[in-house]
Amino acid sequence: MAFIPHPDRRPVLVAGASSGIGAATAEWLAAAGYPVALTARRVDKLQALADKITAAGGEAVAVPLDVTDEQSVLDCVAKAEAALGALEVVVSGAGDLAVGRSFEQPVEQFTDQINIHLNGAYRLYRAVIPGMIERARGDFVFIGSDVTQRPRTFSSAYVAAKSGIDGLVTTVQME
């Protein structure tokens, strides 16, 4: 992949960049010339991806992030901005999937899914949007899911959380 600097230097933070959609998104954005803060709990995987991106000529930094912890979110944003500059784009894709029948799933597991997917996205949004508003520039991307249109069995908490994301996005756009 050729890495060409983007004409407008727009630092990006990708939450959930240690695997899956987040890692693919971060690598694609870096290849498009965006400086990227790779964030997640699995810092070793982030560092491997950051090394791959920088070895190919891109700009990336690995920053620890636990979206279930507000202080971790605030620290992550501060570290990313110290390394790359004011965040212009944030992609909120941190998450996992705990499966089980809705009536058998422990309440703690259900709550954890809401905390990661919905509350975690909100924590990140709340940490970066004031700066974007102040600068009158920035984009925040919430990663949703088709399960809000076509729910699947054994994933009630995930479906509920992603439906919450849809509601949050609708109100954020109205505001």
pLDDT digits (tens, 9 = 90+) for 66-94: 999 999 999 999 999 999 999 999 999 99
Given 34, 122, 125, 158, the catalytic residue: 158
pTM value surpassing 0.75: yes
Q: Is residue 4 part of a domain?
A: no
Task: Identify the domain containing residue 166 by its residue range.
Answer: 12-174
* Joined tokens for residue 65: 């992030």
- Domain CATH code at residue 16: 3.40.50.720
pLDDT-based confidence at residue 4 (cuts at 50, 70, 90):
low
Measured CA to CA, the distance from residue 58 to residue 66 in angstroms comes to: 25
For residue 158, indicate whether it is catalytic: yes
| Cβ neighbours for 64, distance < 8 A, ≥ 6 positions apart | 39, 40, 41, 43, 46, 72, 75, 76
Q: Is residue 3 part of a domain?
A: no
Q: Is residue 7 part of a domain?
A: no
Write the pLDDT tens digit of every residue in 129-158.
Answer: 999 999 999 999 999 988 888 988 999 999
Q: Is residue 99 part of a domain?
A: yes
The residue behind tokens 């004409």 is 7
Q: Is residue 78 part of a domain?
A: yes
Q: Is residue 68 part of a domain?
A: yes
Position 5 pLDDT exceeds 70: no
Name the nearest CA neighbour of 38 among 56, 14, 6. 14
Name the nearest CA neighbour of 91 among 22, 160, 35, 18. 22
Q: Which amino acid is at 131?
A: G
Q: How many domains does the chain have?
A: 1
Q: Is residue 1 part of a domain?
A: no
Measured CA to CA, the distance from residue 168 to residue 104 in angstroms comes to: 28
Report the relative pairing of strands 12-15 and 89-92 from DSSP bridges: parallel
pLDDT-based confidence at residue 20 (cuts at 50, 70, 90):
very high
